[in-house]
Amino acid sequence: MTLTRLTLLISLLALGAPTLAEAKCFKTVHEVKANHVKTRWRETTENDGKPMTISIANGADGLVYTAHKADQLWLSGGISVCRIDGRIAITLEDTKPTSNVPFIARAAFKRPQSARVEGNQIKLAAGGWSGTFVGK
């Protein structure tokens, strides 16, 4: 019985290895830019005339981001930018909303949010909020 489980585990790892090997995450802003990914993103779908801007920077433990709206900090956290199967994926992680974010929306931003870069756009969504951003 144990040998069967071990064989199954080894088979699953062998099948998953090529997929894992294809993911390449960038560690610095220099690597992000070298892979033709923008480090500033501006919201194009806001309905209040105050677009959110997301900026990617180097942090102590990897890449970080900040999101400003109307020149006020709204969100900050870690960010991963990875090439997966030839496409770029961006994931906002450990998001910390500030008191500038409306109370009801704060809970929606606590989960990781991922989007693929398509063209020069990313589409993020959380809870009842969604936004399309263009790289600058």
pLDDT digits (tens, 9 = 90+) for 26-53: 999 999 999 999 999 999 999 899 999 9
Per the domain annotation, does 58 fall within a domain? Answer: yes
Q: Does residue 6 fall inside a structural domain? A: no
pLDDT per residue as tens digits for the range 74-88:
999 999 999 999 999
Is residue 120 domain-resident? yes
pTM (2 decimals)? 0.80
Strand-pair category, 40-43 with 129-135: antiparallel
For 122, the domain range is 23-135
Q: Does residue 1 carry a pLDDT above 80?
A: no
Joined tokens for residue 47: 């309905």
Q: Residue 123: inside a domain, yes or no?
A: yes
Is 97 part of any domain?
Answer: yes
Classify residue 18: in a domain, yes or no. no
**Which CATH number does the domain housing residue 78 bear?**
2.40.128
Where would I find the H helices in the chain?
2-22, 29-34, 103-106
> How many structural domains comprise the chain?
1
Establish if 4 belongs to a structural domain: no
Q: Is residue 9 part of a domain?
A: no
